[in-house]
Structure 1
Amino acid sequence: MFKYLKASFARKKARRVTQEYPVQIDRFNLDGLGTIEFANWLNPLATPVTLTSEMIAFFKKYIKEGDLVIDIGSHIGDTTVPMALCAGPSGMALGFDPNPYVYRILEQNAALNAGKQNIVPVNLAISKEEEEFYFVSSEAAFTNGGISPTKESSHGKFVYPEKIKGVNLKKFLEAKYSDRLNKFSFIKIDTEGYDKEIIKSISDLLSVYKPVIVAESFGDASDEAKLELFDVIAKLGYEISYFEDFDINADVQKLNTRTDITKWKKTINICCIPKK
C-alpha cells in the first residue's frame, strides 16, 4: 500500500513540477545480439521500455546491415535502438526528437552497446523550412508533447523556455549524410498527429529512395486528416497496412481502401511498403 501511495504521489508531482529524472540501465538478452543495454527513464509518467527478440525480428524484415534508418520522434530510443541494432555498426540510425528532456536520455542510449549500433541523436524538429518552435507538453515532466509556433497550444500548458529549431529533412540529409542516402531503407515517424505534414515535406526523398515508412494515424485527428494521411502515402506508390505492435507476431491488416484507415478511433500504427 505504501509503495502504491508513493508512486501515486510521484505521478501527481510529475504532472505539476518540472524536474530532471535519472536513468536506470536495464539489460536484455536478444537472439543473435547477446546482452543489450537500454537506459530507461525514471520519470514517473514514463512507461519502462522492454526490448525483445520479437521486436528485433520485426525490424529485421525491413532493415539490413549497413542501412541508413531514420526515427522521427525518437523519444528515449525505444524504436531507435532496435532499428540501429538491425542496421549494425556499419549502418546509421538518425534519431530526431525536439523534446530536450527525452533527448538527454536518447543521447545516453546512443552511447551504449558499442560495436553493435551506430546512433546519431539529433535535437531538432522536422519542418518544411528552417524555423523555430516552442515545445509544449500537457504535463510538467515533459514525457510527451509537440512543437507549436506559439506558446498557446493544444499540446498543453507547459512550455520549454527556449525555442526548438526545425529543419527540412531533405536539405539536412543532403548536407550531412549524402554519402549514405543510397542506403536509406526505413523511416519511422511518430509526431503526435503531425506525421502527414512531415511526409509531405519529404515526399521528394520518399519518391527517390522508397524506404519502408512506419507512421501513426493519430486517434484524435479528424477522419478528413486520416484520409489525407492515407492519400499522401498512397500517391507515393505505397501499400498501407495496420499493424498492432512492433512485434514479428503482431496482427497485420492491409488497408484495401482509403476509408479503412478511419475504422480505428484510437491511435494506430501503419506500415507502408513500396509497391513493386
Structure 2
Amino acid sequence: MFEYFKRRSARRKARRHFQEYPHVIDTFELADEGKISFANWENPLIKPKVITQEEVNFFKKFITKGSFCIDIGTNIGDTTVPMALAAGKEGTTLGFDPNPHVYKILEINVSLNKDKTNIIPLPYAITKEDGEFSYASSEASFGNGGISNEVVEDHGSFKLANKIQGIRLQDYLKRNHATLLPKLSFIKVDVEGADMEVIISISDLISKYHPALVAECFPKTTLKERAELFRTVSDLGYELYYFSDFLDNAEIVKIENPKDMTKWRHFNFYAVPVKE
C-alpha cells in the first residue's frame, strides 16, 4: 500500500512540477536477435518499455533487412529500436522527435545495440513548411506533447522555453538521404493528433516509393477528421487495417470505409499499398 501511494505521489508531482529524471538500462533476451539493451526513462508517467520478439516480428512483416525506415514521433525510442532491429545493422532507421527531454533518452538508445541496429536520431518536428514552432505539454515532465494543429490547438499549459525546429521531410530526405529513398519500406507516424498533416506533407514520397505506413487515430479527432484521414490514406492507393498492438499475433481488422474509423476511440492502424 505504501508503494502505491508513493508512486501516485510521484506521478502527481511529475504532472505539476518539472524536474530531470534519470534513466536505467534494461536488458532483454530475444530468441532471434539475442541480448538487447534499452534505456528506460525513470519518469513516473512513462511506463517502462519491454522489448519482445513478438514486437520485432510485427515490424518484420513490413521492414526487410537492409531497408530504410522512418519513425516520426519517436519519444524515447520505444518503437524506433524494434523497427531498427527489423531493418538490421545493414539498414537505416531515422528517428524524429523535437522534444529535448525525450530526445536525450533516445540518443542513449541509439548508442546501444550498435552491432544490430543503425539509427540516426534527428531533433525535428515534421511540418508542412520549415520553421520554428512552440511546443507544449499537459505534463510538466514533458513525457509527451506537440505543436498546434487542426486537431489539437493546445497541448497543455507547460511550454518549452525555446521553440523547436520543424522541417519538410521530403525536402530534407532529398538533400541528405537521397540514396536511401529507393530502399524506403516503412514509415511510422505518431505525432499527437497531427498524423494527417504529416501524411499529406509527405504524400509525394508515399506515392513514389509505396512504403507501408503506421499512424495513429487520436482520441480528439472528430468524425469528419477521421473520415478525412481514411480518405487521405486510401486515395494514395492504400488499404487500412486496425491492429490491437505492436505484436505479430495482434488482432487485425480491415477498415473498409470512413465510417469504420469510428469503431475505436483511440487506435493505431497500418496501411499497405493495394495489390494490383
Fold shared, TM-score > 0.5 on shorter chain: yes
2:5 pairs with 1:9: no
| RMSD over aligned Cα atoms | 1.2
1:100–1:123 CA contact under 8 A, matched in 2 = yes
1:14–1:45 CA contact under 8 A, matched in 2 = yes
> What amino acid sits opposite 1:271 in the alignment?
Y
| TM-score, normalization by structure 2 | 0.97
| TM-score, normalization by structure 1 | 0.97
The answer for the alignment partner of 1:188 in structure 2 is 188
> In 1, Cα distance between the equivalents of 2:2 and 2:237?
55
2:230–2:257 CA contact under 8 A, matched in 1 = no
Tell me the CA shift for residue 127 of structure 1.
0.5
Identity in percent: 52
2:57 pairs with 1:35: no
Tell me the CA shift for residue 153 of structure 1.
4.8
The answer for the alignment partner of 2:72 in structure 1 is 72
Which residues in structure 2 correspond to 1:64-103 (within 5 Å)?
Answer: 64-103=64-103
Tell me which stretches of 4 or more aligned residues in structure 1 moved more than 6 Å.
none
> In 2, Cα distance between the equivalents of 1:31 and 1:261?
36
The answer for the alignment partner of 1:114 in structure 2 is 114
Give the gaps of 5 or more residues in structure 1.
none
Tell me the CA shift for residue 81 of structure 1.
0.2
> In 2, Cα distance between the equivalents of 1:146 and 1:232?
22
The answer for the alignment partner of 2:259 in structure 1 is 259
> In 2, Cα distance between the equivalents of 1:27 and 1:11?
25
How many aligned residue pairs are there? 273
Give the gaps of 5 or more residues in structure 2.
none
Deviation track 1:167-201 (CA, whole Å, cap 9, x = no partner) reads: 00000101110010000000000011100000000
The answer for the alignment partner of 1:197 in structure 2 is 197
Deviation track 1:76-126 (CA, whole Å, cap 9, x = no partner) reads: 011000000111111111000111100110000000002100111111000
Tell me the CA shift for residue 65 of structure 1.
1.2
Tell me the CA shift for residue 230 of structure 1.
0.3
The SS at the match of 1:4 is helix
Tell me the CA shift for residue 17 of structure 1.
1.1
> In 1, Cα distance between the equivalents of 2:259 and 2:117?
39
Tell me the CA shift for residue 2 of structure 1.
2.3
The SS at the match of 1:242 is strand
The answer for the alignment partner of 1:242 in structure 2 is 242
> In 1, Cα distance between the equivalents of 2:139 and 2:153?
13
Deviation track 1:21-66 (CA, whole Å, cap 9, x = no partner) reads: 1111011111211010000000011111111111011001111111
